[in-house]
Amino acid sequence: MTGRGLIVVLYGRVAGVVERAGGSLTFTYDDDYRRLPAATPLSLSMPLTGARYTRSVVEAFLRGLLPDSEEVRRRWATHFGLRDRDSFGLVGQIGGDAAGGAQFIPVENYPSEVGEGSVQPISEAAIAQRLRRLREDPTDWLRDEERWSLAGVQSKFTLRVLGDGWGVAHGCEPSTHIVKPGIGVIPAQALIEHVSMAAASAMGLKVATTRYVEFEDQPAIVVTRFDRRERNGVWERIHQEDLCQAMGLDPSRKYESERGPGVARIARLLRDTAGPAAVEEFGRAVVANYLLGAPDAHAKNYSVMLAASAVAFAALYDMASGLTTARDGQLRYPRGAMSIGGERAFGQVRGRNWSGFATALGMPADTVRDWVRSLADLAPQALSDAVRGLPAGPRSQPALALLTARVRMLCELTLRDLDDMSAGRRIGRSGSETLAGVTA
Question: What is the tens place of the pLDDT at every residue in 357-387?
Answer: 999 999 999 999 999 999 999 999 999 999 9
Q: Across the chain, what does the average pLDDT equal?
A: 94
Q: Distance between the two ends of the chain, CA-based, in angstroms?
A: 53
- DSSP output for 214-269: EETTEEEEEEE-TTEEEETTEEEE-EEEEHHHHTT--GGG-SGGGT---HHHHHHH
The confidence band for 244, taking pLDDT boundaries of 50, 70 and 90, is very high
**Angle at which helices 276-291 and 365-388 cross, to 10°:** 50
Q: What is the pLDDT of residue 2?
A: 43
Please spell the DSSP secondary structure of 390-431, one letter per residue.
S-HHHHT-HHHHHHHHHHHHHHHHHHHTTT---SSPPSSS-H
Q: What is the pLDDT of residues 92-150, one digit of tens each?
A: 999 999 999 999 999 999 988 887 889 999 999 999 999 999 999 999 999 877 889 99
- pLDDT-derived band at 263 (thresholds 50, 70, 90) equals very high
Task: Supply the Cα-derived Rg of the chain in whole angstroms.
Answer: 22
Q: What share of the chain is helix, strand, coil (3-state, %, to 5)?
A: 40, 25, 40
Q: Residue range 240-265: average pLDDT?
A: 97
Q: What backbone phi and psi angles, to 5 degrees, belong to 112?
A: -60, -30
Task: Tally Cβ neighbours within 10 Å of residue 422.
Answer: 10
The domains found in the chain, sorted by start residue, are 5-109 (no CATH), 117-229 (no CATH), 230-436 (1.10.1070)
Q: Is 146 in a helix, a strand, or coil?
A: coil
